[in-house]
Protein backbone atom coordinates (compact mmCIF):
# COMPACT_ATOMS: atom_id res chain seq x y z
CA UNK A 1 0.00 0.00 0.00
CA UNK A 2 1.21 3.47 -0.85
CA UNK A 3 0.93 6.20 1.70
CA UNK A 4 0.70 9.86 0.76
CA UNK A 5 3.38 11.69 2.69
CA UNK A 6 2.58 15.35 3.28
CA UNK A 7 3.65 18.17 5.51
CA UNK A 8 1.37 18.36 8.48
CA UNK A 9 -1.33 21.06 8.19
CA UNK A 10 0.28 22.70 11.17
CA UNK A 11 3.90 22.00 10.27
CA UNK A 12 4.86 25.67 10.38
CA UNK A 13 3.80 25.92 14.00
CA UNK A 14 4.72 22.35 14.99
CA UNK A 15 8.34 23.00 14.05
CA UNK A 16 10.91 22.17 16.74
CA UNK A 17 8.28 20.89 19.11
CA UNK A 18 9.74 17.40 18.89
CA UNK A 19 12.95 16.05 20.37
CA UNK A 20 14.56 12.64 20.20
CA UNK A 21 16.39 11.33 23.23
CA UNK A 22 18.53 8.23 23.27
CA UNK A 23 17.65 6.00 26.20
CA UNK A 24 20.00 3.83 28.26
CA UNK A 25 18.51 0.40 28.87
CA UNK A 26 17.47 1.05 32.46
CA UNK A 27 15.56 4.22 31.55
CA UNK A 28 13.93 2.49 28.60
CA UNK A 29 12.63 -0.29 30.85
CA UNK A 30 11.39 2.30 33.35
CA UNK A 31 9.42 4.19 30.70
CA UNK A 32 8.06 1.05 29.08
CA UNK A 33 6.78 -0.17 32.45
CA UNK A 34 5.09 3.17 32.91
CA UNK A 35 3.47 2.93 29.46
CA UNK A 36 2.18 -0.51 30.41
CA UNK A 37 0.86 0.82 33.74
CA UNK A 38 3.12 -1.55 35.62
CA UNK A 39 4.46 1.26 37.75
CA UNK A 40 3.23 4.49 39.24
CA UNK A 41 3.11 7.52 36.92
CA UNK A 42 6.59 8.59 36.12
CA UNK A 43 8.15 11.96 35.59
CA UNK A 44 11.68 13.18 35.08
CA UNK A 45 13.13 16.62 35.40
CA UNK A 46 15.83 18.47 33.56
CA UNK A 47 17.92 20.51 35.96
CA UNK A 48 20.52 23.15 35.37
CA UNK A 49 21.36 26.77 35.90
CA UNK A 50 22.40 29.07 33.09
CA UNK A 51 25.98 28.16 32.24
CA UNK A 52 25.76 24.62 33.54
CA UNK A 53 25.40 21.50 31.45
CA UNK A 54 21.88 20.27 31.88
CA UNK A 55 21.22 16.93 33.53
CA UNK A 56 18.20 14.67 33.50
CA UNK A 57 17.10 13.33 36.86
CA UNK A 58 14.85 10.40 37.56
CA UNK A 59 13.77 9.88 41.14
CA UNK A 60 16.90 7.77 41.70
CA UNK A 61 19.58 8.70 39.20
CA UNK A 62 21.26 11.53 37.35
CA UNK A 63 22.24 11.55 33.66
CA UNK A 64 24.22 14.17 31.78
CA UNK A 65 22.56 15.40 28.59
CA UNK A 66 24.52 16.02 25.44
CA UNK A 67 23.09 17.18 22.18
CA UNK A 68 24.52 15.46 19.11
CA UNK A 69 24.01 16.99 15.70
CA UNK A 70 23.08 14.52 12.96
CA UNK A 71 24.22 14.89 9.39
CA UNK A 72 21.02 13.19 8.29
CA UNK A 73 17.63 14.53 9.15
CA UNK A 74 14.94 12.51 10.81
CA UNK A 75 11.31 13.08 9.86
CA UNK A 76 8.78 12.51 12.57
CA UNK A 77 5.82 11.01 10.78
CA UNK A 78 2.37 10.42 12.26
CA UNK A 79 -1.16 9.98 10.94
CA UNK A 80 -2.92 13.30 10.21
CA UNK A 81 -4.82 14.72 13.19
CA UNK A 82 -8.34 13.29 13.46
CA UNK A 83 -10.09 16.60 12.93
CA UNK A 84 -8.42 17.09 9.57
CA UNK A 85 -8.24 13.49 8.39
CA UNK A 86 -10.94 14.08 5.77
CA UNK A 87 -8.52 16.36 3.88
CA UNK A 88 -6.19 13.44 3.38
CA UNK A 89 -6.45 10.24 1.40
CA UNK A 90 -6.79 6.89 3.10
CA UNK A 91 -3.59 5.75 4.78
CA UNK A 92 -1.99 9.17 4.41
CA UNK A 93 0.69 10.21 6.86
CA UNK A 94 2.11 13.63 7.70
CA UNK A 95 5.51 15.03 8.62
CA UNK A 96 5.24 16.75 11.97
CA UNK A 97 8.81 17.87 12.37
CA UNK A 98 12.32 17.47 10.98
CA UNK A 99 14.91 16.76 13.65
CA UNK A 100 18.63 17.31 13.18
CA UNK A 101 19.92 16.43 16.59
CA UNK A 102 19.39 13.83 19.24
CA UNK A 103 20.00 14.06 22.95
CA UNK A 104 22.41 11.51 24.36
CA UNK A 105 22.23 10.52 28.00
CA UNK A 106 25.11 9.21 30.07
CA UNK A 107 24.87 8.12 33.71
CA UNK A 108 26.59 10.63 35.92
CA UNK A 109 27.46 11.17 39.55
CA UNK A 110 25.19 13.68 41.26
CA UNK A 111 26.73 17.16 41.43
CA UNK A 112 26.42 17.56 45.16
CA UNK A 113 29.65 19.48 45.67
CA UNK A 114 27.74 22.74 45.27
CA UNK A 115 26.01 22.08 48.60
CA UNK A 116 29.18 23.00 50.45
CA UNK A 117 29.35 26.46 48.95
CA UNK A 118 25.62 27.14 49.22
CA UNK A 119 25.60 26.28 52.92
CA UNK A 120 28.81 27.99 53.99
CA UNK A 121 28.29 29.89 57.20
CA UNK A 122 24.92 28.25 57.88
CA UNK A 123 26.29 25.82 60.47
CA UNK A 124 23.89 24.64 63.12
CA UNK A 125 25.20 24.46 66.66
CA UNK A 126 23.97 24.93 70.19
CA UNK A 127 23.40 28.65 69.95
CA UNK A 128 20.78 27.97 67.34
CA UNK A 129 17.84 28.60 69.66
CA UNK A 130 18.72 32.25 70.35
CA UNK A 131 19.21 32.77 66.66
CA UNK A 132 15.67 31.69 65.92
CA UNK A 133 14.33 34.80 67.60
CA UNK A 134 15.70 37.20 65.02
CA UNK A 135 15.15 34.79 62.19
CA UNK A 136 13.26 37.36 60.13
CA UNK A 137 16.37 39.42 59.43
CA UNK A 138 18.15 36.46 58.01
CA UNK A 139 15.57 35.27 55.58
CA UNK A 140 17.61 36.27 52.57
CA UNK A 141 20.55 33.98 53.15
CA UNK A 142 18.48 30.92 53.98
CA UNK A 143 18.95 27.92 51.78
CA UNK A 144 15.95 25.64 51.71
CA UNK A 145 15.46 22.03 50.76
CA UNK A 146 13.25 23.14 47.87
CA UNK A 147 16.01 25.44 46.59
CA UNK A 148 18.48 22.59 46.83
CA UNK A 149 16.12 20.41 44.81
CA UNK A 150 15.95 22.94 42.01
CA UNK A 151 19.57 24.12 42.08
CA UNK A 152 21.53 20.98 42.81
CA UNK A 153 21.90 18.70 39.83
CA UNK A 154 20.95 15.47 41.52
CA UNK A 155 17.96 13.20 41.77
CA UNK A 156 15.83 13.42 44.90
CA UNK A 157 17.18 10.13 46.24
CA UNK A 158 20.78 11.19 45.64
CA UNK A 159 20.17 14.58 47.21
CA UNK A 160 18.63 13.01 50.31
CA UNK A 161 21.54 10.60 50.59
CA UNK A 162 24.00 13.47 50.10
CA UNK A 163 22.39 15.51 52.88
CA UNK A 164 22.56 12.50 55.16
CA UNK A 165 26.25 11.71 54.65
CA UNK A 166 27.16 15.39 54.87
CA UNK A 167 25.22 15.69 58.14
CA UNK A 168 22.98 18.45 56.92
CA UNK A 169 19.84 19.05 58.95
CA UNK A 170 16.51 19.94 57.41
CA UNK A 171 14.88 22.28 59.90
CA UNK A 172 11.40 23.32 58.81
CA UNK A 173 12.55 23.17 55.21
CA UNK A 174 15.78 25.06 55.79
CA UNK A 175 19.08 23.26 55.29
CA UNK A 176 21.67 23.64 58.04
CA UNK A 177 24.87 21.61 58.19
CA UNK A 178 25.44 20.62 61.79
CA UNK A 179 28.79 21.75 63.15
CA UNK A 180 31.03 18.72 63.67
CA UNK A 181 31.93 19.57 67.25
CA UNK A 182 28.27 20.01 68.20
CA UNK A 183 27.39 16.75 66.47
CA UNK A 184 30.09 14.90 68.41
CA UNK A 185 28.77 16.35 71.66
CA UNK A 186 25.23 15.28 70.82
CA UNK A 187 26.42 11.80 69.95
CA UNK A 188 28.07 11.55 73.35
CA UNK A 189 24.71 12.47 74.90
CA UNK A 190 23.10 9.72 72.82
CA UNK A 191 25.66 7.19 74.04
CA UNK A 192 25.12 8.22 77.66
CA UNK A 193 21.36 7.97 77.29
CA UNK A 194 21.57 4.57 75.63
CA UNK A 195 23.38 3.36 78.73
CA UNK A 196 21.32 5.19 81.35
CA UNK A 197 17.98 4.20 79.79
CA UNK A 198 19.36 0.69 79.20
CA UNK A 199 18.31 0.65 75.56
CA UNK A 200 19.38 -2.00 73.10
CA UNK A 201 21.54 -1.03 70.14
CA UNK A 202 19.36 -3.09 67.84
CA UNK A 203 16.08 -1.43 68.74
CA UNK A 204 16.45 1.74 70.77
CA UNK A 205 13.24 3.58 71.49
CA UNK A 206 13.31 6.74 69.37
CA UNK A 207 10.63 8.57 71.31
CA UNK A 208 12.28 7.98 74.70
CA UNK A 209 15.61 9.21 73.41
CA UNK A 210 14.27 12.32 71.74
CA UNK A 211 12.05 13.30 74.65
CA UNK A 212 14.93 12.80 77.08
CA UNK A 213 17.12 15.03 74.91
CA UNK A 214 14.38 17.62 74.52
CA UNK A 215 13.59 17.74 78.23
CA UNK A 216 17.08 17.61 79.66
CA UNK A 217 19.10 19.37 76.99
CA UNK A 218 16.57 21.41 74.98
CA UNK A 219 17.46 19.59 71.80
CA UNK A 220 14.64 19.91 69.26
CA UNK A 221 13.09 16.57 68.34
CA UNK A 222 13.59 17.21 64.64
CA UNK A 223 17.32 17.51 65.26
CA UNK A 224 17.61 14.40 67.40
CA UNK A 225 15.57 12.18 65.08
CA UNK A 226 17.49 13.31 62.02
CA UNK A 227 20.76 12.53 63.75
CA UNK A 228 19.45 9.08 64.66
CA UNK A 229 18.56 8.45 61.01
CA UNK A 230 22.11 9.40 59.94
CA UNK A 231 23.67 6.89 62.32
CA UNK A 232 21.51 3.86 61.76
CA UNK A 233 18.01 2.98 60.61
CA UNK A 234 14.73 4.03 62.13
CA UNK A 235 11.91 1.58 61.67
CA UNK A 236 8.58 1.61 63.48
CA UNK A 237 9.83 3.93 66.16
CA UNK A 238 12.97 1.88 66.86
CA UNK A 239 16.49 3.00 66.14
CA UNK A 240 18.93 0.33 64.99
CA UNK A 241 22.16 2.03 65.96
CA UNK A 242 25.13 1.82 63.66
CA UNK A 243 27.43 2.02 66.67
CA UNK A 244 30.66 1.99 64.65
CA UNK A 245 29.63 5.12 62.77
CA UNK A 246 28.73 6.88 66.03
CA UNK A 247 32.06 5.95 67.63
CA UNK A 248 33.88 6.99 64.47
CA UNK A 249 32.26 10.43 64.45
CA UNK A 250 33.27 11.00 68.08
CA UNK A 251 36.81 9.84 67.28
CA UNK A 252 37.01 12.14 64.27
CA UNK A 253 36.15 15.11 66.45
CA UNK A 254 38.98 14.18 68.83
CA UNK A 255 41.39 13.75 65.96
CA UNK A 256 40.32 16.94 64.17
CA UNK A 257 42.14 19.09 66.73
CA UNK A 258 45.48 17.63 65.72
CA UNK A 259 45.82 19.01 62.26
CA UNK A 260 49.16 20.73 62.75
CA UNK A 261 50.40 19.30 66.02
CA UNK A 262 50.59 15.49 66.00
CA UNK A 263 49.18 13.42 68.84
CA UNK A 264 50.52 10.14 70.32
CA UNK A 265 48.43 7.22 69.16
CA UNK A 266 47.85 5.97 72.74
CA UNK A 267 46.83 9.39 74.01
CA UNK A 268 44.34 9.72 71.17
CA UNK A 269 42.82 6.31 71.91
CA UNK A 270 42.62 7.11 75.62
CA UNK A 271 40.87 10.45 74.99
CA UNK A 272 38.51 8.82 72.53
CA UNK A 273 37.60 6.00 74.92
CA UNK A 274 36.98 8.58 77.62
CA UNK A 275 34.47 10.36 75.40
CA UNK A 276 32.47 7.28 74.39
CA UNK A 277 32.31 5.85 77.90
CA UNK A 278 33.05 2.43 79.42
CA UNK A 279 30.17 0.58 77.80
CA UNK A 280 31.16 1.30 74.25
CA UNK A 281 34.94 1.70 74.52
CA UNK A 282 35.40 -1.81 73.13
CA UNK A 283 34.27 -0.45 69.74
CA UNK A 284 37.08 2.11 69.66
CA UNK A 285 39.64 1.15 67.07
CA UNK A 286 42.06 3.20 65.03
CA UNK A 287 40.89 1.40 61.88
CA UNK A 288 37.58 3.31 62.12
CA UNK A 289 39.52 6.48 61.37
CA UNK A 290 41.29 5.06 58.35
CA UNK A 291 41.63 7.66 55.63
CA UNK A 292 41.53 10.50 58.13
CA UNK A 293 44.95 10.45 59.72
CA UNK A 294 48.56 10.23 58.76
CA UNK A 295 51.36 8.80 60.87
CA UNK A 296 54.54 10.84 61.01
CA UNK A 297 57.21 9.23 58.83
CA UNK A 298 59.85 9.32 61.57
CA UNK A 299 57.55 8.20 64.39
CA UNK A 300 54.70 5.87 63.47
CA UNK A 301 53.07 6.44 66.85
CA UNK A 302 52.41 10.10 66.21
CA UNK A 303 49.26 10.88 64.23
CA UNK A 304 48.00 13.94 62.44
CA UNK A 305 44.52 14.74 61.15
CA UNK A 306 44.53 14.33 57.38
CA UNK A 307 41.09 13.63 55.93
CA UNK A 308 40.70 12.05 52.49
CA UNK A 309 37.44 13.98 52.12
CA UNK A 310 39.34 17.27 51.87
CA UNK A 311 41.45 16.02 48.96
CA UNK A 312 40.52 16.72 45.34
CA UNK A 313 38.02 14.34 43.76
CA UNK A 314 39.85 13.94 40.44
CA UNK A 315 42.62 11.35 40.55
CA UNK A 316 45.41 13.48 39.05
CA UNK A 317 45.22 16.41 41.49
CA UNK A 318 44.64 13.98 44.34
CA UNK A 319 47.88 12.15 43.62
CA UNK A 320 49.65 15.49 43.25
CA UNK A 321 48.37 16.47 46.71
CA UNK A 322 49.33 13.14 48.23
CA UNK A 323 52.85 13.28 46.88
CA UNK A 324 53.25 16.85 48.10
CA UNK A 325 52.29 15.67 51.58
CA UNK A 326 54.71 12.80 51.45
CA UNK A 327 57.16 12.02 48.67
CA UNK A 328 56.83 8.26 48.95
CA UNK A 329 54.08 5.97 50.19
CA UNK A 330 53.63 2.33 51.11
CA UNK A 331 50.60 0.80 49.44
CA UNK A 332 48.87 0.17 52.77
CA UNK A 333 49.41 3.80 53.76
CA UNK A 334 48.14 5.35 50.55
CA UNK A 335 45.12 3.10 49.98
CA UNK A 336 42.87 4.70 52.64
CA UNK A 337 43.24 7.97 50.75
CA UNK A 338 42.18 6.38 47.48
CA UNK A 339 39.27 4.37 48.86
CA UNK A 340 36.66 7.01 48.12
CA UNK A 341 37.68 7.45 44.48
CA UNK A 342 38.36 3.81 43.61
CA UNK A 343 35.47 1.37 43.93
CA UNK A 344 37.65 -1.67 44.67
CA UNK A 345 41.27 -2.72 45.04
CA UNK A 346 41.53 -3.46 41.33
CA UNK A 347 40.51 0.10 40.48
CA UNK A 348 42.94 1.37 43.10
CA UNK A 349 45.83 -0.57 41.58
CA UNK A 350 44.90 0.83 38.17
CA UNK A 351 45.11 4.35 39.55
CA UNK A 352 48.45 3.58 41.20
CA UNK A 353 49.78 2.24 37.91
CA UNK A 354 48.66 5.32 36.09
CA UNK A 355 49.62 8.07 38.52
CA UNK A 356 52.44 6.63 40.61
CA UNK A 357 55.72 4.79 40.14
CA UNK A 358 56.45 1.72 42.19
CA UNK A 359 59.96 0.95 43.40
CA UNK A 360 61.02 -1.98 45.51
CA UNK A 361 63.64 -1.88 48.24
CA UNK A 362 64.37 -3.89 51.38
CA UNK A 363 61.22 -2.56 53.06
CA UNK A 364 58.87 -3.49 50.22
CA UNK A 365 57.18 -1.48 47.48
CA UNK A 366 57.21 2.30 47.65
CA UNK A 367 55.13 4.56 45.46
CA UNK A 368 56.50 7.87 44.29
CA UNK A 369 55.16 10.54 41.96
CA UNK A 370 55.26 9.44 38.34
CA UNK A 371 56.42 12.65 36.77
CA UNK A 372 58.52 15.08 38.67
CA UNK A 373 58.18 18.06 36.43
CA UNK A 374 59.93 20.40 38.82
CA UNK A 375 63.08 18.32 38.75
Partner 1 sequence: MIIPITIASSSTNPKLPPGLAKISHDEIVLVELQGTLEVEYNHPSERDGKLVGKLKVEEATNKPTLRIGHHLLEGKIATLPKPLAVLIRSNTTSSAPSDRVYVHDQEGDAIMNHIDTVTANWNVVAIVKRKIVFYKRPMPIVGRPT
Which of these ranges, 49-57, 170-178, 225-233, 300-308, lies near partner 1 under the rule CB under 8 A? 49-57
Instruction: Please state the closest distance from residue 89 (CB atom) to partner 1, in A.
Output: 9
Instruction: Please state the closest distance from residue 117 (CB atom) to partner 1, in A.
Output: 16
Contact flag: residue 54 with partner 1 (CB under 8 A) = yes
Contact flag: residue 41 with partner 1 (CB under 8 A) = yes
Output the CA torsion sign for 78, 83, 89, 95: negative
Considering only residues 26, 38, 73, 325, which one is a binding residue for partner 1 as defined by CB under 8 A? 73
Contact flag: residue 266 with partner 1 (CB under 8 A) = no
The torsion angle over the Cα atoms of residues 195, 196, 202 and 203, rounded to 10 degrees, is -170
**Which of helix, strand or coil describes residue 373?**
coil
Q: Is the Cβ of residue 9 or residue 180 nearer to partner 1 in the bound state?
A: 9
DSSP code of 124? B
Instruction: Please state the closest distance from residue 254 (CB atom) to partner 1, in A.
Output: 41
Q: Any bridge partners for residue 57, and if so which?
A: 45, 62
Q: Burial of 213 by CB count in 10 Å (0-12 exposed, 13-18 middle, 19+ buried)?
A: buried
Instruction: Please state the closest distance from residue 163 (CB atom) to partner 1, in A.
Output: 18
CB 292 within 8 A of CB 285: no
How many residues sit in the footprint of partner 1 (CB under 8 A)? 75
Long-range residue pairs from 195-201, CB within 8 A, at least 24 positions apart, any chain: 195/277, 195/279, 201/240, 201/241, 201/243
Q: Is the Cβ of residue 34 or residue 290 nearer to partner 1 in the bound state?
A: 34
- DSSP for 132-151, written as a single string: HHTGGGGGGG--BHHHHHHH
Residues 353-372 that bind partner 1 (CB under 8 A): none
Considering only residues 26, 38, 60, 67, which one is a binding residue for partner 1 as defined by CB under 8 A? 67
Q: Is the Cβ of residue 157 or residue 189 nearer to partner 1 in the bound state?
A: 157
CB 238 within 8 A of CB 206: yes
Contact flag: residue 60 with partner 1 (CB under 8 A) = no
Q: Any bridge partners for residue 365, and if so which?
A: 360
Instruction: Please state the closest distance from residue 168 (CB atom) to partner 1, in A.
Output: 20
Interface pattern 75-94 for partner 1 (x via CB under 8 A) = xxxxxxxx-xx-x---x-xx
Cα separation, 71 vs 59, whole angstroms: 34
Contact flag: residue 285 with partner 1 (CB under 8 A) = no
Considering only residues 10, 229, 279, 301, which one is a binding residue for partner 1 as defined by CB under 8 A? 10
Cα separation, 337 vs 291, whole angstroms: 5
Instruction: Please state the closest distance from residue 116 (CB atom) to partner 1, in A.
Output: 19
Q: Is the Cβ of residue 43 or residue 360 nearer to partner 1 in the bound state?
A: 43
Contact flag: residue 214 with partner 1 (CB under 8 A) = no
Q: Give 141's contacts (C-beta < 8 A, 6+ positions apart).
A: 121, 122
Q: Is the Cβ of residue 108 or residue 242 nearer to partner 1 in the bound state?
A: 108
Contact flag: residue 157 with partner 1 (CB under 8 A) = no
Which of these ranges, 22-30, 214-222, 232-240, 346-354, lies near partner 1 under the rule CB under 8 A? 22-30
Which of these ranges, 73-81, 132-140, 207-215, 344-352, lies near partner 1 under the rule CB under 8 A? 73-81
**Which of helix, strand or coil describes residue 316?**
helix
Interface pattern 98-137 for partner 1 (x via CB under 8 A) = x-xxxx----------------------------------
DSSP code of 85? G
Helices 180-196 and 243-256, interaxial angle, to 10°? 140
Amino acid sequence: MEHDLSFSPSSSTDGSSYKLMELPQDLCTLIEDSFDHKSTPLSFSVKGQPGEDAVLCTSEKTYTMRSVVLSNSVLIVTPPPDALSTDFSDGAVVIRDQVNEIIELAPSVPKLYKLGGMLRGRDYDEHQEDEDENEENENNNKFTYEEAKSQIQASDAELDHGLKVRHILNIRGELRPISPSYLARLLQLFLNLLVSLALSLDAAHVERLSSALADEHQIPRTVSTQIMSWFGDIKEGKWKVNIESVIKEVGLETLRRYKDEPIEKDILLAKWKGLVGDTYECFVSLSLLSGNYLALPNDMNKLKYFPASSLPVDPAPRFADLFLTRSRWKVEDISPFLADIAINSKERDKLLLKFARGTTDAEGVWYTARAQYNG
